[in-house]
Amino acid sequence: MFTKVRQVRAFESIIQQVEAAILKGNLAVGDRLPPERELQGLLDVSRNTLRESLRVLEQKGLIEVRKGNRGGIFVKEINADSMAESLGLFVQSQRITMEQISEFRQDLEGLVTHRAALQADSKRMSDVDRRLEKAEELARKGPSQWDAFMQADRDVHLALARLAGNPLHHFFLETVHTNFHRYHIHAYLPRDEATIQITLSELKAIVRAVSRGEAERAEALAREHVRRATEAMKQASAGPGKTAAASRPSIKRLKSKPHPPSASGTLTKRRQP
């Protein structure tokens, strides 16, 4: 699987070979690569060159280097973590406001929720329903489970994105949620019973609309869900003495609009020059 590489830009060749092996399925998630010394011999590179390439692969989120007796170099699942880090840096460097992030989230959440409603049937809704039940279970335990409940809220949104059927929508939504939870929700959203109950009622209304195929209503509810959460965080970030929940109007303000449901690579050596 591994072969010698040229010393000129050797670390790039190693990166390209490992990437190709992962993307072609020759290396699967959880697979362990050979030890460093064996890789050095297979690739015919120095220890420093190999470690440089491994650092880049780790930064890309493709591998994980573990220490200890059970350590080694392992293939990681490709997810939104590394992209969320880049998004976080971009948001900070470009002075992107909370309102701008909210606007983007409203557009994306509205789109995927609308599409999910057009795809919904009892079988496809099972994953969404299971995750909503988890959120309800955590909500009953109150603010002590606030972090776990917010994770469950995220999981419901991502389940709806999977139901919508476009992997790119799911990936970008996961990236935005990871960033938003890390830098905004955990910092500003009130950690109280009212926030949990309002969030849960919004989730239940969204899922209900999706299950009924009410695409326009589901989209409107999803947009309002994001907008109200943003307003709560804005108030909380403004300083003490302001309660976010009071400004969040009831979801009953959104009148139901019936919408009929739709039918709906092997690594190779590079010779020495």
Phi, psi of 43 (to 5 degrees): -95, -15
Give me the tens of pLDDT residue by residue for the chain, a chain 273 residues long. 776 755 557 888 899 999 999 889 899 999 999 999 999 999 989 999 999 999 999 888 889 999 888 889 999 987 766 666 777 777 777 888 888 888 999 999 999 999 999 999 988 899 999 999 999 999 999 999 999 999 999 999 999 999 999 998 998 888 888 877 777 888 889 999 999 999 999 999 999 999 999 999 999 999 999 999 999 988 887 766 544 333 444 434 444 444 444 434 445 554 444
Q: How far is CA 249 from CA 3, 11, 224, in A?
A: 63, 56, 10
Q: Is 64 helix (H, G, I), strand (E, B) or coil?
A: strand
Domains and CATH numbers, the chain: 10-75 (1.10.10.10), 81-253 (1.20.120.530)
Question: Hey, is 259 helix, strand or coil?
Answer: coil
